[in-house]
Structure 1
Amino acid sequence: MNSTFIINANIVLENQILNNAFLELLDGKIAEIDIMENCPQLASIENVIDCRLEGYIIPGMIDIHVHGALGHDFMDADHICYSKIAKHLASEGVTAFLATTMTGPLSEIEAAIEALSYYYNNQPTAVAEMLGIHLEGPFINRAKKGAQSEEFILKPNVQQFKYLYDKSTQLICLVTFAPEEDNNFALLQELNSIGVIASIGHSDADYNTAIHALKAGITHVTHLFNGMSGLHHRDPGVVGAVLLSEDVYIEVIPDNIHFHKDLLRMVYKMTGLHRLLVITDGMRAKGMPDGMYDLGGNEVEVINNQCIQHKTGSLAGSVLNMNTARKNIEECLSLSIVEQIRLVSLNQAVHLGLDNRKGSIAVGKDADVVWLNEEGEVEKTFCLGKLAFEKD
Structure 2
Amino acid sequence: MTPKTPMTPMAPHERMVLAGARVVLPDGVAQNGRLAVEGRTLAAAEPAEPATYDLTGHWIVPGFVDVHVHGGGGGSFSAGDAGESMKVIDTHRRHGTTTLLASTVTGDLDDLAHQAGALSELVEQGDLAGIHFEGPFIARNRCGAHEPELLRDPDPADVRKLVDAARGTARMMTLAPELRGGLDSVRLLAEHGVIAAVGHTDATYEATQEAIDAGATVATHLFNAMPALGHRVPGPIAALLRDERITIELINDGTHLHPGVLELAFDSAGPGRVVFITDAMGAAGMGDGVYPLGPMKVDVRDGVARLAEGGSIAGSTLTLDRALRRAVTVDGLPIEHAVRALSANPARLLGMADQIGSLEAGKDADLVVLDEDLALTAVMRKGSWVVPPPSRA
Q: What TM-score does the superposition give when structure 1 sets the normalisation length?
A: 0.92
Give the alignment of 1:124-163 within 5 angstroms.
129-163=127-161
Q: Are the equivalent residues in 1 in contact too, given 2:57–2:371 (CA < 8 A)? A: yes
- Letter in structure 2 aligned against 1:7: A
Q: Aligned to 2:44, what secondary structure does the other structure show?
A: strand
RMSD of aligned alpha carbons: 1.6
Q: What CA deviation, in whole Å up to 9, does each residue of 1:312-367 have, x standing for no partner?
A: 11100000121111122113442222222111111101111111111100000000
Closer/same/farther in 2, CA of residues 3 and 249 from structure 1, 3 Å limit? same
Q: Distance in 2 between matches of 1:259 and 1:59?
A: 25
Q: Are the equivalent residues in 1 in contact too, given 2:154–2:182 (CA < 8 A)? A: no
How far apart are 1:246 and its partner, in Å? Answer: 2.3
Counterpart of 2:7? none
**Structure 2, gaps ≥5 residues long:** 1-12
Give the alignment of 1:213-228 within 5 angstroms.
213-228=211-226
How far apart are 1:248 and its partner, in Å? Answer: 0.6
Q: Distance in 1 between matches of 2:238 and 2:114?
A: 37
User: Is 2:266 the counterpart of 1:268?
Assistant: yes
Q: Aligned to 1:18, what secondary structure does the other structure show?
A: strand
Name the count of aligned residue pairs: 378
Q: Distance in 1 between matches of 2:309 and 2:105?
A: 18
- Letter in structure 1 aligned against 2:54: D
Counterpart of 1:309? 307
How far apart are 1:391 and its partner, in Å? Answer: 6.8
Q: Are the equivalent residues in 2 in contact too, given 1:75–1:108 (CA < 8 A)? A: no
Is 139-148 or 112-121 further displaced after alignment?
112-121
Q: What CA deviation, in whole Å up to 9, does each residue of 1:27-69 have, x standing for no partner?
A: 21112235xxx23257xxxxx2221x21211100111100010
Q: Distance in 2 between matches of 1:230 and 1:351?
A: 26
Counterpart of 1:39? 48
Structure 2 residue corresponding to 1:381, chosen from 374, 379, 382: 379
Structure 2 residue corresponding to 1:243, chosen from 241, 264, 268: 241
How far apart are 1:26 and its partner, in Å? Answer: 1.5
How far apart are 1:182 and its partner, in Å? Answer: 3.9
Structure 2 residue corresponding to 1:4, chosen from 16, 19, 28: 16
How far apart are 1:11 and its partner, in Å? Answer: 1.8
Q: Distance in 2 between matches of 1:195 and 1:302?
A: 36
**Structure 1, gaps ≥5 residues long:** 43-47, 124-128
How far apart are 1:4 and its partner, in Å? Answer: 2.8
Q: Distance in 2 between matches of 1:82 and 1:391?
A: 26
Counterpart of 2:10? none
How far apart are 1:233 and its partner, in Å? Answer: 2.7
Counterpart of 1:50? 54
Counterpart of 1:96? 99
Counterpart of 1:16? 28
Q: Aligned to 2:45, what secondary structure does the other structure show?
A: strand
Closer/same/farther in 2, CA of residues 183 and 90 from structure 1, 3 Å limit? closer
Q: Are the equivalent residues in 1 in contact too, given 2:98–2:366 (CA < 8 A)? A: yes
Q: Percent identity?
A: 33
Counterpart of 1:120? 123
Q: Are the equivalent residues in 1 in contact too, given 2:81–2:118 (CA < 8 A)? A: yes
Q: Distance in 2 between matches of 1:287 and 1:147?
A: 20
- Letter in structure 1 aligned against 2:33: A
Structure 1 residue corresponding to 2:87, chosen from 76, 84, 88: 84
Q: Are the equivalent residues in 1 in contact too, given 2:175–2:182 (CA < 8 A)? A: no
Is 55-64 or 232-241 further displaced after alignment?
232-241
Counterpart of 2:369? 371
Give the alignment of 1:335-374 within 5 angstroms.
335-374=333-372
Q: Are the equivalent residues in 2 in contact too, given 1:68–1:74 (CA < 8 A)? A: yes
- Letter in structure 2 aligned against 1:228: M
Q: Aligned to 1:33, what secondary structure does the other structure show?
A: coil
Closer/same/farther in 2, CA of residues 391 and 204 from structure 1, 3 Å limit? farther
- Letter in structure 1 aligned against 2:39: D
